[in-house]
Every structure is written in C-alpha cells, then in structure tokens.
Structure 1
Amino acid sequence: MSAAPPFRTSPLSHLALLLALSSLPPFIPSSWADTPPPRSYEVPSGSLGPALTRFAGQAGVSLSVDPALVNGRTTAGLSGQYGVEEGFAHLLLGTGLRLVPVGEQAYTLAPVAEGAALQLAPASVIAASGSADGQAYAGGQVARLGSQGLLGSRDFMDTPFSMTTYTSAAVKNQQARTLADLTASDPAVRSTNPAGGRFEQFTIRGFSLFNSDVSYGGLYGIMPTYSIDMEMADRVDILRGPTQLINGISPRGSVGGGINIVPKRATDKPITEFTTSYVSDSQVGGALDVGRRFGEDNRFGIRFNGVKQSGDTEWDHQKVDREMAIVGLDFRDERLRLSMDVGHTERDTDAPQERVLVGDDAPVPRADDVRHNYAQAWTKARTRDTFGAIRGEYDIDDSLMVYGAVGARKSNHDFLRHNVSITNAAGDFTIQPRDFTRDEDVRTVNAGVRKWFRTGTVSHEVNLAADYFSMDFENGGGRYANRPGNLYDPVTTPEPTVRTRTDAKIYTENRFSGVALSDTLGFFEDRMLLTLGARWQRVKVDDWENGIKGETSYDEEKLSPSVGVLFKATDQLSLYANYMEGLSQGKIAPSTASNEDDIFPPFISRQLEAGAKYDMGKFAITAAAFRIKQPAYETGDAPGPGLEGTFGPSGKRVNDGIELSLFGEPVGGVRLLGGVMYIDSNLEDTNNGGANDGNRAPATPKYNVNLGAEWDVPRVQGLTLTARGIYSSSQYLDQDNTKEIDAWTRYDVGARYAFKVDEKVITLRGTVENLLNERDWISAGASDDSEPGLTLATPRTYILSATIGF
C-alpha cells in the first residue's frame, strides 16, 4: 500500500476569505456540533507522537499533549473509516493513554487509570470544517499547522523553516484592525509606515515587505495594495526567509520573509456574531460575521463578513472611513473540495501622514516636539479594491491529489498628498502638493499535483506546481505650486486647484511564471525529513511612458535551488537547517528620486539558516540563526538645493541574525507570546570605492523585543488581563550612518470579559495602545532605501469592542 500523506490540509484550506472580530474565549464551553458520519483515514504505524499529530491534522482538531506522555511509545496506526474519537482510541490502544475532551474539537491525553480498560469511543465529534485555527497550540494564540504553499500544510515541529501562524483568536483578542496591528506581536516584523498613513509596509528580518507581497491563501497580488483589514483573516502565517520555492516570485521582490492571509470557511457549528467598536478619538463601527453549513453531511458552506467603521483618529483633522464585505462559498465531499471567495474593500483617509524625510543639511527632528498632524487637511487617500479567488482540489486516490486556483484583483487608487522633507533644525519643509492615481489589474493562476509513496523504508512527498502571475498598472497625476510648512508648528494652506505640471502616464506590465518541483524524503520512520526542491522562474517587465516604450524593460529567468533538513531528535526537540535561493522582482525608484518609477532588473537573494524547536506540550520555544544576502540600493545625494538624488544599486547587504520565539500557556491561565531578534546588518562593495563598507544598513535595528502576556483572573470567571511590551534599538537613516534615531519602547495594556446572557455569549474587550503616550520615531523607513523617511509613533489610543454571539 502507498504511504499515506502526512497532512491533507492542502492548498484549498488556505483560500476562503472572511473575518472574525470576536468569538468565544477558550474557557467558555460550547455545545458540540451534530455528529457527521466517519471519514476515511490513513495513518501508518510508528512513533505515537507523529501519528497523533498526523491524525489530528487530518481531522482538523486541536490536540495538546505533554511530550513526556508519548515519548518512546508506538502505535499500530489505522486505515479505514473512523470518527474522530474512535480513530484516536485505535491509535492509543495498548499505549496506556486515553483521550480527554477539553473543549469543542479540542483534546488532550491522560494516563489510563490503573485497572481500567480503554474502550473504543461509540460516537465521534468531527472538526469544524476549514477552521480549527489550524489546530491551535496551547493558549490558542498560535496554530500548530502553517500554510506552506507548494509544500502544503505542516506542523511547526515538522517544518525546516522559521514560521509562526497566528490564529483568529489572536486577531480578535488583540483587536487588530489591520495587518500592522497583528504583526506588532512578532519580533521579526516591524511596521515602517505611519499607522495613519496612505499605506502599510513592513520589514521581516530587516528586509522590506510591501502589502502587494502578502499572499492570500498562497496566491500573490490579490490582497488590497495599501492596507489589509484583519477581519478577513482566519489565520496569518509569517514565514521568515526567502519564500520563492514555496510561493514563487512576489510582486515587489520581498526576500526577508512572507506573510500569508488564510481565509475563513463556514464551520459545522453555525456562526452569528455582531461586534460594535470604538477607537479614539471618535471612530465608531460595526462588524457582522455569519456562517452556515447545509446539505447532506454539511457539504455546502457560506460565510459572510461585513465591516463599516468611520470617524476621527488621535491626529488633528485626520479621519478614516473603511468598509469591507466578503462572501465565501465552499463544497466538500470525500475526495473533492471547492471554494470561491469574493471581496470588496474601500478606505478613505483624510490628512494621511507621510514619512518625514531628512535633508542632507538637517539634523534628525525631535520626535517629542511633534504634537500635531503635519499633513495638510486637504490631503487624502482613496482606495478601492475588488478581489476574488476560486480553488479546487481532488484526491484521485489516497496517495495522489491534484489542485488548482485562480485569483484576480482590480483596484483604483486616488491620492492628493505632499512630501515632508525637513531642511533645517527648525523643522521647516516645503509643501509640494501632488495628486496621484494608480489603477491595477491582477490575474494569477496556480496548478499542481502532490504524490505520496515509498521506496523501501523511505517515504516521499513529491510536489509539482506551475504558477503564472500578471499585473498591469497605470500611474498618473500632476504637481501644484509649492508653499512653506513646518513639522513642529504646521502651517495651514488652501487646497491646491491649478496644476503647475502634469506627470507622464506610466503604464507597466509584469509577467511572472514558474515551475517548481520538490520531494520531501522521510527516513527512520519520518524522524528525519529532507526536502529537496528547485523553482524555474521567469520575470518579464515592460513599461511605457506616454505611450513610448521605456528603457527599463527586461526578460530574465533563473533556476533557484532549495534544500531543507529536519531531524526529530526527540518527540519534543526538532533540529533543522535550510539553504534557499530566489529570483526577485527588481526595485522601483521611489517618488523622492529624480528617476522616479524606474524599474531595476531582478536580483538573486540567498539564505542560510539553522535552528531548533522545543515543544513542551503547553509551551514552545523556537530559535534560529540566519544569514541573508541581497543587493543594496540607495538614493544618492541631491546635486543641489531643491533637486532630487538618483536611486540605484550600491553594493550588497548581509544580514546575520539570531531570533528566539516563544508561545503557549506554561501555567494554567497564563499565556505568553513574543520573542527576541538580533541582526548584524553590514554593507559591502558600496559605491564610491566602498565608502560605506562595514556600515549598518538603513532602517535595521540590532534588537527587536516583543513580549505579550494574558492572565485569567482566578476568582472572576471570564475576566482576562493583558499586557504587551515592544522594543527596538536605534537605527540609521542612510548608508553613511551619519543620521540615527534612538531606541524606542511601547507598552499596551488591556482586558476582556466574557459572560452569558440568555444563552448569548457576550465578550467585552478594551485595550490602551502606547499607554505612556511616548513620542518616538519608530522606523527610519524602508531598509532598502526605496522609501526612506521617519515614521512617528501613534499617540495613546483607546480601543473598545463588544461582541455578541447569537
């Protein structure tokens, strides 16, 4: 018989797209779903720990186990039709352990009482379809299973990469409104744009990542370009290091890591939740989350999420109005799984903040003295994004699966903005109004086949996939007369009406294609996993300026190898190493450069990484050491006052780093989430004869530290107190290392209280972000200097919400 797949939660389970602003906390019991008929399972004999993990992953339930209980125990495996509890009972026969339900679709293990006989369960409880929070780890904030594109879904202990998957519970309990709110919990990720700005942007392991490089169920380019609402996410995967083998080339060439949004699906238990929210100064909103399954065996599912929020922020004359509506449909049977998702988002921001640029002759401004919004009241950002995807997968037999997906997005963006470029110690700058439009049209296709088999004692999981991505976009706009401004004492000016210059129409076509092949070989009953892979990639870019073909077009291709090895030293300890290469889209010159919108040729990035993961059952620690290399870029000095420098390559940057992550519930009622990252970032072979060799790369702090904690108050059932601290050390603004911003720290506190009224579950949440109202520069901009400038911390912000579950 062919070897059974280790995890069958593959590409389809990562595409539904919906939201969850709130749900029941883990300590509130719920009624069980109606029991559906048993399913077919194939779990080979061998070590008990991996067998239980495999079965739980196939069933989609949560299993929290003390590794000491299963260490050294074996199982005869199982093959055939089983209910969940019945299947667990068969796997546990003769082990001296029994299954203990601890919640809906959640279990743990305990020793069998002396003299007791272990009986097969007479009934089963099948997991909620498409959403068990990826088999949540103890504490519920992080999932065991993570989406890995080409490689399917795998348990974090079986993954030869550094990866964290945040659950919908983490999204809801942190009251995350956008992706930047959620990534504030991750030490490897930092936001590099103001929270009240036109767009969000990040760094992972010190390298820039744009929103357009955030994948949606593994498909690039179909998420909204400028801001991603977290109400649409069931889980969020953060993978550190080059991801080209897994998902192919990203639209903007991110190399430090990747972020994947996992959409939601209707669960077997009906969902009806309404959430009202308030964010200071006066943003008020509501969100609706409805999900139902119907038909024979609950085969059909529908999930709808809608959001409306509007009001003023903590910054002067700044207002944010956002709307989102998403519907997800899915079908499942024994071998076929289909899904379709369609969504639309709108975001209007008045007076969005820009990064603060620092002129060559100006010192770093004093962040503590910036007390007012320096963006003019007439500036605006209007974004409209419509997107969707269709997915399908089919099990030809128990060891062969084919899958495919198509996705699309159409976006219209309209901005009226101005740069903030400080010229002196007094904080003076010139307001240079500019209107800017951008229209985008994206299409993406993915198809693949996955095969499991054995050659002797060696297991194989072979993946073959092909991808195609196209994005057409057009930029246009114009400029207006300049006027004076000041960072510390903003000057109010009238809205511009007459253009002094009309910008050229820039039209660009991106075409990325690739074919990837990988084989994960399992040795010694899968205690050693060796992944060998390669991806052939082609990047083709053409652009036109006012209808005239540009000079920056190119057509290049490359074969990129990857290798990863993981050794399960014990059931608690995994050791791993990997080497990955990737071809990335070339950088684009920013609006602050004289060669704005120039597109540079693709570049190659390389990563070496080694790490360890220790799973104590209720608490886990992961550690990694890495080296990532890629070309460096900079915007050169301006040739004179009022002129702009030229953006282009300047040697390469090498990031050597160590990261430590922790998560789980080490003590009952106490949950921890966070970690530490250290990066030694060096520039090599820079311009002007190596003038900046040995300097630190811009916008790359040496230390990032995050630690969040939750405590369930023992004598007040349903009450949880929360706290979080975030720290980043100093960082430079430029390759010269002549301008530097100080280290910064932020503290958040909060609480939530869950209770029942007439069988309706109500959850109240409150958070104070930036409790001490610290005024700091929290980022020196993009680490590749494609978008330089300082990001100011958001003032103290109050967030309140109330969720009622019907």
Structure 2
Amino acid sequence: MPAVLPCRPRAASLRSRPLMYLGFAISLSANLLSSSAWADDLARRAYTVPAGTLGAALTRFAHLAGVSLSLDPALVTGRQSRGLSGSYSVDEGFMQLLQGSGLQLQPVGNGAFTLVPVAQASDALEIAPTSIVGGHVGGSDAPPYAGGQVARQGSQGLLGSRDFMDTPFSMTTYTSDLVKNQQARTLGDLIASDPSVRATNPAGGRFEQFTIRGFSLFNSDVSYNGLFGILPTYSIDMEMADRVDIIKGPSQLLNGISPRGSVGGGINVVPKRAGDTPITEFTGSFASGSQAGGAVDVGRRFGEGGQFGIRFNGVKQAGDTEWDHQRVERDMAVLSLDFRGERLRLSTDIGHTERDTDAPQERVLIGANAKVPSANDVHHNYAQAWSKARTNDTFGAVNAEYDISDSLMAYGAVGARKSNHDFLRHNVSIINDAGDFTVQPRDFTRDESVRTATAGVRNWFHTGPVSHEVNLAATYFYMDFTNGGARYASAPSNLYNPVATPTPGTPTRLDPKVYTENRFSGVALADTLGFFDDRLLLTLGARWQRVQVDDWSDGVKGDTAYDEEKVSPSAGVLLKVSEQLSLYANYMEGLSQGKIAPSTSVNEDQIFPPFTSRQVEVGAKYDLGKVGFTASVFRIRQPAYETNATTRVFGPNGKRDNRGVELSVFGEPLEGVRLLGGVMYIDSELTDTVGGAFDGNRAPATPEYNVNVGAEWDVPRVNGLTLTARGIHSSSQYLDQNNSKQIDGWERFDLGARYTFKVDATQVTLRASVENVLDDRYWASAGASDDSEPGLTLSTPRTYLLSATLGF
C-alpha cells in the first residue's frame, strides 16, 4: 500500500454526497502531553490559529496541539471560525473554535477526540479512517489501516508524510504488528508479503538482496528513517522496525541517490519509539533445525507531559537450520531515545548487530555447457562445512525537527556506521549436466565506514486560493570501504552429492587490497500545490546530484574513478475524484552510481560511470474504509548490464524496458477477516543491445507474473484464535540475455495460527506457522536482474516457526 507525505494542514471543505457517509481523521505524530495531562486538563500553551473555515481551523489547532481529531466532514462544511490567539489548554482551544457552531468535543481515547452535534453528545460515531497529517510521522504514531497489517501513512523523505489517498506514488507501509505475526526475523522474511518485491538470494546465504519492479535492490540501499547506509549491509533484523516503507519506482527526488543506485524502488525502515502506553514484552522463539532465541522490547516515557522517551530492543538467536552443517547466530541491540518539546523534537538511535553463519548457501552459477539443474534433486547443502560469513555492524543516527513558526519547520539528521565483514566462501559454478563444480576457497574481508547527513526546511503557505508546501533539502553521503582476501587450492564437488573438501590452509594467491571512496551530494527543491480546496495536488521538484568515486588497488590510484553531476526532475499529480477515489500520475528520474563488476567476471571490481533511469506511472486508489485497493501502470527504462557468457567480461549491453501493471488489496472487508495481497505483471524487454543480438528478448531474472494472496480469520467462537494462510507465486525466468536457459515458475504455501489470551495481567500471544507447507524444491530466482551477481537461488525447505510473546 502506498504511504504518505508530512504535509501541511489540509482545508476541510470536503463535499458530502447523498446516502454516503464520509469521514476523515486528523492525526499528529507527537503526543505532547501525558495521559494525566489530558485528564486533568492542566497543559496550557500559546496558540495562533487564523480565522477561516471551521474545518481548516480545527485542522490547524489539532496539528499544533499534537492530538488526533476525527469528524464527519458534513458537520463542518460551510461553517466558519474566528480562530484564536492566546494561551489555552486543548479543551479550551477546541471550545473557543467551536463556539456557536452547535458542535462539541467528545473524547474517544488518550489524546484522541471526535466531534458530535450538541444534541447527540452521548452518541458514538464510526469514522472513516482517512487521515490528514501534519509534522513528522514516526514510531507508532502512524495510524494503521483497517486490519492493522499496513499503515495509512509512511515516510517519503523530502516530501514528508501524507495519507496514501493524497500520495501520487505507489507505496506500501507494513506495520510492526505484521512483523510480529509473520514472525519475520529479517527484511527478507517480511518482503515475502509484497508481489512487487522478491528475494534473489538464498535465505541461508551470506547476504540478502531483492528486486522491486524487476530491478535489483541491495541491502545497502535500504534507508533508516530516511538516511542511507546506516543499516547493516548484509542482513537487517526486523525486531528494530516499527514500520517498513516500500516505495515503487525511482525515488531519488525523495531520498537522494542510494549507495548502490537501486532504481526499481526503495525500502525505508522506521525505528521504534516509546509510545504513551508503556511496553514490556519478551518473546521466546524456535525455528526449524534447532534455532532458539529470545527478544525483549521495553519502552517508557518520562518527564512533564511524557517529553522524554526510551525504547530498547534486543535479540539473541542461535542454532542449526534445516540444511546440513549450517548454523546461524544473530545478536541485535538497538536503543532509541527521543524528546518531544513544544516546538523541538529530537531522537537518536544507537544499534549494534552481529550475524555469524556457518556454511552459508551461494547462488548456483550455470556454465555455458551445462543445463539448468533440477532443484528437486538438491537435498543437501552444497556449501562446504568450513565456509563462513561473519558480519559486525555498529550504527547510530540523530534526528531533529524545529517549528520556527506555525508554517515553517526546519529539520536535520546525521548518521554513521562502522562495519567489519569476514567471509570464507566459494562459488558454485556448475560445469556440466551432472552438476559438477569446482570448490575454490576464497577468503574475503570488507571493512566499511559511513557518514551521512541531511538538512532542510518545509514551508506551508497560500497564494490566493492555491496552497503550497515547499520543501528544500540538502543531502551528503560518504562511504569508504576496503576489500581484501586470498585464494586457496581448489577441489571438485557436486551439486547433488556434495564432497567434503579440506579446510583451506596456505593461500595460493593474495588478492589486491582495494580501497574505495564514494561521495554523493545533492540539493532538492519541491513544491506541492493544492487547487480547489486541495482536491487537486500537483508536486513539482528537481534534485541536483553529484557522484564522486575514487579507488586504489594496493595503493595505486585506479583509472575508473569519476566525478559527475546531473539535475533530475520529477513531477506528480493527484486528483481526489471523491473521498473514496484518487487518481494519480508521476514522472520520476534517478541518477544511479555505476555498476561494479562482480567476482564472477574477469574484470572484477571495475566501476562503471553513473546512469539515469526514468519512470512514468499512472494509477488509482480506492478506499472503502475497511478495505483498500490500488492499481498502477508503469514503465521504467535503464541501461542493461551483463557478464558475457564467452569472454566473462561484465559491462553495459543495451537497455531494459520494464512495462508493468500492479494491483493490490489490503484491509479487513469483514469483521475478523483480513486480506493482504496483490499481483504484478511485467513485460521486460531488452532493446539497443550490441548488434541487436538480444533485442526483443526478455530481461534476465524477471518473472512475468508475481502473485501474493494472504488472509487471516479470527475464529468466531474461540476468542483470541486467528488462523492464517498465504500463497506466493512467481512465473518462469530466464537466466541470460540470450534467453537460452530458463527456470520454471513456482508456488509456495504458508499456514499458521496465533492465540491471544491473558493470564492475570499478562498478555500472552502464541504463534505457530509453517512456511513452504508442501516442502517444494524449486529455483526461487534466476539471480540479480542487473546480472551483477548471476545465479540461481534455491528455495527454503519446509520451515516451522514457533513463538510466545508475554506482555507485562
């Protein structure tokens, strides 16, 4: 589901229709007062709300006060307000604005209110959950859509947040509830719910990698609260996430250039924050093999009005997996602190993760003289017992927002990461139909250092009847990394009958020590203009970007360094046909860092110049309150790269033209029945290849169809019991630009159940699920779509997941 942009307050002059109840909710990210302050009505502060329509005045006051206000638009249509200026409590401010309107405030929760006619003050109203949001959206403040699996709003970098119905982009925001209920341990587990996203690396591998709309997305391109390069490079633990935003299509206007230049879309992880309700949870878990672990989640607010917050999440999990001699051990600790002031909001996140994997699986490479092997015949781990992957990441970020005035906000963020990675691995390159391959051990180390920052201002104002939200931001990203290692004597093995080879001893060759520096800088300006009471929204923007890359090999300056810059324009338009239907279109450009030749090519580590990608998209969003639908048609073009099958040289060859259609559904159409799923169709064509050799062929590693269908059912007569089911399908894929080798389409079915109950004051949730119920063996992916890391990804065998969460 698309998520949202922090937006200016919206005028509430929305037209109601006969026999149709319309509603909207005005939500704020920061609850500035504690529950006792609401009850005692003690908090007073200065407010200035200009005269105007009653809906606009109420919106503005809710934005400044940090409360949630829900109402029927028909109640305020045509009404005016004299505004207010002075020192008020929340109740007093609303009373002043509502004076003489025949309406009054009715509390519906902690810091949440609704409006009712005076004569009906005792009646409760059902409110359509459309939201209008001002300020920064973070933590648990993002309201969930019906069913709780996705959020109505999410972070969109430069443009902030806005309800998905007001967003001219395709975006889905998954909630922490979905993370818990799916027992997602890493980002790769979570994205299985999205038909536009697929994993392209084995679940028991060294690292995670994905495709969005058919284009590669690396873990290093996943942002953390809008900052690139902060999160661990190889695997991201989901226990740290409050929300996960997935935007489809080039998004450089929103977030700037990503470290690896992903263009099919972007993923943003939003950290957890302490909410107004204290949380103390412990989760014990068990997964197939003998993986056992525990996680803690503790959050509190302190100080006057709960100004200070602290949230800690910690994880420890270790044990053998379903694969021979494979063991995974992971540790995570993330501490989040935040401050909510009258005008100033601060937060900081400090984290450390470690992940050790013994015998990690590799993609299976297919030689020119070998056919595609049968995945159904692979029953053992073909990785050697001595192979390993050790990753160690320490990261941190500081975010700040300051309301200079009621219509001007300044913000900024800085972040850093230090990582050490150590691998002892080998490729699995099949040379014949019998599945033979050569084990050539390689010791590979990578040390990374990242520093990143962003700063900007956001201004809301009107020019006559036209509203504006102007955003100006600057970004800077720096990363240096050092690669090194050694090669060892080779030995034969087989995909179907792996042969144990000796543990590597004396190196036969030392690899050069490669040092690389990346510097990305940019300035972006965007204006969202609102016409006809903001029923028509037009976003125009551009980002200037500069990409600088330098590298050295054994201290010798490389000849592939570059320093290039470009201005990338973008535009989006959204028309609210009604409160239930929005139509949108966008044009997005993105500059990406050049590709890096993979280890499987003879020109390994060669860096190519930056390139530009372009997307055109049109779509529609339909919100029924309990269930939502989105549809989009898109086209993305970018240069194509390949590793030549004969010469093994990696380089550009033509262009990829991905034309597709996406459909999605989410929500709770019937009480106790929740749906989450969709379908993506892609016609991916190669054009302008060398000599026209591959023109018209389908691009590698791009299925024609992806389908996801997930459902949850609360068993009516067993309070607290929920049954879950999910089906996932991807159609066939080609391995190469020549379309000479192909893997079959596949399906995966998951089943599960959870049971929630109380033992005295302790909330208990038991979860059990089985992934890949039928234990099918298949090739889940033909590799990375950009061919930077070609090869087949083997499916994960049937996996049992158990967990118990205790909430104190």
Query: What TM-score, normalized by structure 2, do the two folds share?
Result: 0.90
Q: Is the 8 A contact 1:64 1:137 kept in 2?
A: no
Q: Is the 8 A contact 1:33 1:269 kept in 2?
A: no
1:131 to partner: Cα distance: 3.2
Does residue 228 (structure 1) correspond to residue 231 (structure 2)? The answer is: no
Q: Name 2:15's counterpart in structure 1.
A: none
Q: Name 1:778's counterpart in structure 2.
A: 780
Q: Is the 8 A contact 2:454 2:475 kept in 1?
A: yes
Does residue 186 (structure 1) correspond to residue 186 (structure 2)? The answer is: no
Q: Name 1:700's counterpart in structure 2.
A: 702
Structure 2: distance between partners of 1:496 and 1:201? 28
Q: Is the 8 A contact 2:409 2:459 kept in 1?
A: yes
1:332 to partner: Cα distance: 1.1
Q: Is the 8 A contact 1:4 1:399 kept in 2?
A: no
Structure 2: distance between partners of 1:710 and 1:97? 38
Closer, same or farther: CA 723–327 of 1 in aligned 2, 3 Å? same
Q: Is the 8 A contact 1:60 1:135 kept in 2?
A: no
1:95 to partner: Cα distance: 9.3
Closer, same or farther: CA 485–577 of 1 in aligned 2, 3 Å? same
Q: Name 1:556's counterpart in structure 2.
A: 564
Aligned ranges 1:188-227 → 2 under 5 Å:
188-227=196-235
Q: Is the 8 A contact 1:71 1:571 kept in 2?
A: no
Closer, same or farther: CA 685–99 of 1 in aligned 2, 3 Å? farther
1:582 to partner: Cα distance: 1.2
1:5 to partner: Cα distance: 2.2
Instruction: Find the partner of 1:138 among 111, 136, 146.
Output: 146
1:83 to partner: Cα distance: 4.0
1:132 to partner: Cα distance: 3.0
Does residue 681 (structure 1) correspond to residue 689 (structure 2)? The answer is: no
Q: Name 1:756's counterpart in structure 2.
A: 758
Structure 1: distance between partners of 2:656 and 2:775? 35
Aligned ranges 1:331-410 → 2 under 5 Å:
331-410=339-418
1:650 is aligned with what amino acid?
Answer: N
Q: Is the 8 A contact 1:275 1:801 kept in 2?
A: yes
Q: Is the 8 A contact 1:88 1:99 kept in 2?
A: no
Q: Name 1:116's counterpart in structure 2.
A: 120
1:321 to partner: Cα distance: 0.3
Aligned ranges 1:550-699 → 2 under 5 Å:
550-639=558-647, 645-687=648-690, 689-699=691-701
Closer, same or farther: CA 604–399 of 1 in aligned 2, 3 Å? same
Q: Is the 8 A contact 1:469 1:511 kept in 2?
A: yes
2:793 is aligned with what amino acid?
Answer: T
1:367 is aligned with what amino acid?
Answer: A
**Mean Cα deviation higher: 87-96 or 521-530:** 87-96
Q: Is the 8 A contact 2:58 2:97 kept in 1?
A: no
Q: Is the 8 A contact 2:184 2:238 kept in 1?
A: yes
Structure 1: distance between partners of 2:74 and 2:669? 19
Does residue 285 (structure 1) correspond to residue 285 (structure 2)? The answer is: no
Structure 1: distance between partners of 2:679 and 2:169? 17
Structure 2: distance between partners of 1:71 and 1:431? 73
Q: Name 2:13's counterpart in structure 1.
A: none
Q: Is the 8 A contact 1:194 1:355 kept in 2?
A: yes
Q: Is the 8 A contact 1:128 1:269 kept in 2?
A: no
1:111-136 CA distance string (max 9 Å, x none): 879x6357999xxxxx9995335111
Closer, same or farther: CA 369–503 of 1 in aligned 2, 3 Å? same
Q: Name 2:275's counterpart in structure 1.
A: 267
Structure 2: distance between partners of 1:673 and 1:320? 30
Structure 2: distance between partners of 1:89 and 1:766? 53
Q: Name 1:176's counterpart in structure 2.
A: 184
Structure 2: distance between partners of 1:54 and 1:163? 27
**Mean Cα deviation higher: 78-87 or 370-379:** 78-87
1:753 is aligned with what amino acid?
Answer: Y
Partner secondary structure for residue 765 of structure 1 = strand
Structure 1: distance between partners of 2:99 and 2:556? 70
Partner secondary structure for residue 140 of structure 2 = coil
Structure 2: distance between partners of 1:351 and 1:317? 6
1:55 to partner: Cα distance: 8.0
1:728 to partner: Cα distance: 0.4
Structure 1: distance between partners of 2:48 and 2:152? 20
Partner secondary structure for residue 153 of structure 1 = coil
Structure 2: distance between partners of 1:805 and 1:712? 21
1:100 to partner: Cα distance: 8.2
Closer, same or farther: CA 731–63 of 1 in aligned 2, 3 Å? farther
1:25-53 CA distance string (max 9 Å, x none): xxxxxx977737377696996696x9999
Structure 2: distance between partners of 1:399 and 1:64? 22
Q: Name 2:8's counterpart in structure 1.
A: 5
1:448 is aligned with what amino acid?
Answer: G
Q: Is the 8 A contact 1:89 1:99 kept in 2?
A: no
Q: Name 2:462's counterpart in structure 1.
A: 454
1:637 to partner: Cα distance: 1.8
Structure 2: distance between partners of 1:129 and 1:588? 36
Q: Name 1:801's counterpart in structure 2.
A: 803
Partner secondary structure for residue 783 of structure 1 = coil
Does residue 507 (structure 1) correspond to residue 515 (structure 2)? The answer is: yes
1:250 is aligned with what amino acid?
Answer: S
Closer, same or farther: CA 149–4 of 1 in aligned 2, 3 Å? closer
Partner secondary structure for residue 154 of structure 1 = coil
1:63 to partner: Cα distance: 8.0
Closer, same or farther: CA 227–524 of 1 in aligned 2, 3 Å? same
Partner secondary structure for residue 234 of structure 1 = strand
1:324-356 CA distance string (max 9 Å, x none): 111111111110011111100000000000000
Q: Is the 8 A contact 2:705 2:730 kept in 1?
A: yes
Q: Name 1:767's counterpart in structure 2.
A: 769
Structure 2: distance between partners of 1:613 and 1:711? 25
Q: Name 1:436's counterpart in structure 2.
A: 444
Does residue 714 (structure 1) correspond to residue 700 (structure 2)? The answer is: no
1:42-101 CA distance string (max 9 Å, x none): 6996696x9999888877777899x9x869956657767564998599789969999684
1:261 is aligned with what amino acid?
Answer: V
Partner secondary structure for residue 158 of structure 2 = helix
Does residue 543 (structure 1) correspond to residue 547 (structure 2)? The answer is: no
Q: Name 2:166's counterpart in structure 1.
A: 158
1:737 is aligned with what amino acid?
Answer: N
Instruction: Find the partner of 1:728 among 730, 743, 750.
Output: 730
1:109-164 CA distance string (max 9 Å, x none): 9x879x6357999xxxxx99953351111111111111010001111111100001
Structure 2: distance between partners of 1:53 and 1:182? 35
Partner secondary structure for residue 183 of structure 1 = helix
Q: Name 2:425's counterpart in structure 1.
A: 417
Structure 2: distance between partners of 1:676 and 1:215? 25
Q: Which runs of 5+ in 1 are unaligned?
A: 15-30, 122-126, 640-644
1:677 is aligned with what amino acid?
Answer: M
1:160-191 CA distance string (max 9 Å, x none): 00001111111111111000111000111000
Partner secondary structure for residue 269 of structure 2 = strand
Structure 1: distance between partners of 2:181 and 2:102? 38
1:6 to partner: Cα distance: 2.7
Partner secondary structure for residue 738 of structure 2 = coil
Aligned ranges 1:86-125 → 2 under 5 Å:
101=108, 116-117=120-121
Structure 2: distance between partners of 1:759 and 1:746? 39
Structure 2: distance between partners of 1:108 and 1:182? 35
Q: Is the 8 A contact 2:439 2:492 kept in 1?
A: yes
1:216 is aligned with what amino acid?
Answer: Y
1:506 is aligned with what amino acid?
Answer: V
1:372 is aligned with what amino acid?
Answer: H
Q: Say what the alpha-carbon RMSD is for the aligned residues.
A: 3.0
1:415 is aligned with what amino acid?
Answer: F
Structure 2: distance between partners of 1:47 and 1:690? 64
Closer, same or farther: CA 489–336 of 1 in aligned 2, 3 Å? same
